[in-house]
Structure 1
Amino acid sequence: MILEIDDLVGGYSRVPVLKKVSFKVEEGQLVGLIGLNGAGKSTTINHVIGLLHPFSGTIKVGGKQLKDDAEGYKAQIAYIPETPILYDELTLREHLALTIRAYQMDEQAAWQRAQRLLKMFRLDNKLDWFPVDFSKGMRQKVMIVAAFMTEAKLLVVDEPFYGLDPLAVHDLLNLIQEKKEQGVGILMSTHVLDTAQRYCDRFVLLADGKVKTQGTLAELTAGGQTLDEVYLNLARDEQHG
């Protein structure tokens, strides 16, 4: 089990946003985290990547907890945020070099992986560009390259499709499949349900900081509903709750 969340209570102040959230991500599994805005998806992700500390409950990545082994915990995670985060004063080449040092990767092997990704996303001739030169889509591709060049056991991907052209979306989905085949666990937050329905192995539906339901597509749609209908019914129940 690469990610285990048990009875997680947490948030940004002393008022809990998450209320006893529990779910797992296994090796080689893509889990879709879905829910309305404000349901708790970003709060869950921020706890997983270590930006927030639980009020109670546990989060384990590869069997490690942040409070016991922060370095060992974070070294297993690569994160692609919804809004790209780049350093204005660093070139693309310097961003990737920083990633290599941060994850203590073998430099030659890491650059080989990076070169393949750069070519795939048509960034291989832009290594000396600064973030100011990149469009939003190109910035997102930089984040994808930096995350996928690592050998992290857990990929946390927050709304990855916004700003990407159709070819880049296709390439990203192929990369996700590759990582799954390598045994990497992936937690992906997304509103793009038709894509999630085709690619995710399991789903966790959040509403009001709670896991309302979780399971495979077959389990969630056993009543004859589509995933869209399950999601919309959840949304209506939350609004009328």
Structure 2
Amino acid sequence: MIEIEDLSKNYGDKKALQHLNLKIKSGEIFGFLGHNGAGKSTTIKNLVSIIEPTSGSIKVDGLDLQEHRQEIKEKIAYVPDTPDIFLQLTAAEYWDLLTSAYNLSVADVQQRRQELVTLFNMSEHVDETLASFSHGMRQKTIIIGALLPDPDVWILDEPMQGLDPQAAYDLKQLMKKHAAKGKTVIFSTHNLDTAQQLCDELAILKKGVLIYNGSVQNLLDQNNDESLEEIYLKMAGRQNGDGLVDDIEGDSHE
């Protein structure tokens, strides 16, 4: 169980996240939806301790993140929104680095690593550097690394970007299997079809404020005869050419 209580993050005068309250259960896939700048990545970066909140708290299995940071980090694996990291390493060296960081033995991860390498068609590329990879191959490398410790909480920020259709399908299946083991999967996405396929619950953010938290089915039930796309745009607003979000006339979800 992850409990986010009154979480806020400011960058100077900019309020990136405002008084967010959420409970994310073990064994579920939880999705964050929102336009660019809505607060999705800010929330995720707080969860994985990349940034510090301005106020509020995060608890994982009852432990406060600020007080038990290292213990909680060992429960979490993270796929960032860009895979352009450790580019000087080969794929194998990157996986070895994560194996060491999580204090795992090679024997502990050998079978899992080989299964994932085979699944993502990376067998011929393990000794090549990440710098030589396409965006999609780097993404696959990071995903494999994140699953080596079989984390209690798997957090992915826009994970489908750059993946080919087969790899995207395989990733979705892995997310479902991970949650089915009683573990937690948290991800952000712009893709409404992906959210509808995967999410047990979702949170929709707008300008750093939570405007919906619940299941996709409940959202559809509350808005008869409208598609998820129509409902989302009505709630989140229309993004104009300046990257800002304008309210749609008749919006009643503020």
- TM-score, scaled to structure 1: 0.94
Q: Which amino acid aligns with 1:221?
A: L
Q: Give 2:246's aligned residue.
A: 239
1:198 Cα deviation from its structure 2 partner: 1.3
Aligned-residue CA RMSD in angstroms? 1.6
Q: Equivalences for 1:41-120 in 2 at 5 Å?
A: 41-120=40-119
CA displacement, residues 17-57 of structure 1 (integer Å, 9 cap, x when unaligned): 21111112211100110011111111111111101112221
Q: Equivalences for 1:197-216 in 2 at 5 Å?
A: 197-216=196-215
User: In structure 2, how many angstroms separate the alpha carbons of the residues matched to 1:100 and 1:146?
Assistant: 8
Q: Does 1:9 align with 2:16?
A: no
- TM-score, scaled to structure 2: 0.90
Which runs of 5 or more structure 2 residues have no equivalent in the other structure? 239-244, 249-254
Q: Give 1:24's aligned residue.
A: 23
Would you identify which runs of 4 or more consecutive aligned residues in structure 1 move more than 3 Å? Answer: 11-16
Q: Does 1:172 align with 2:179?
A: no
Q: Which amino acid aligns with 2:193?
A: D
Out of 139-148 and 98-107, give the one that drifted further: 98-107
User: In structure 1, how many angstroms separate the alpha carbons of the residues matched to 2:149 and 2:101?
Assistant: 10
- SS of 2:236's partner is helix
User: In structure 2, how many angstroms separate the alpha carbons of the residues matched to 1:5 and 1:227?
Assistant: 26
Aligned residues: 240
Q: Which amino acid aligns with 2:228?
A: L
User: In structure 2, how many angstroms separate the alpha carbons of the residues matched to 1:49 and 1:13?
Assistant: 22
User: In structure 1, how many angstroms separate the alpha carbons of the residues matched to 2:14 and 2:229?
Assistant: 31
Percent identical: 36
Out of 129-138 and 217-226, give the one that drifted further: 217-226
Out of 5-14 and 209-218, give the one that drifted further: 5-14
Which runs of 5 or more structure 1 residues have no equivalent in the other structure? none
Out of 40-49 and 54-63, give the one that drifted further: 54-63
Q: Give 2:35's aligned residue.
A: 36
1:14 Cα deviation from its structure 2 partner: 6.5
User: In structure 1, how many angstroms separate the alpha carbons of the residues matched to 2:30 and 2:69?
Assistant: 24
1:186 Cα deviation from its structure 2 partner: 1.0
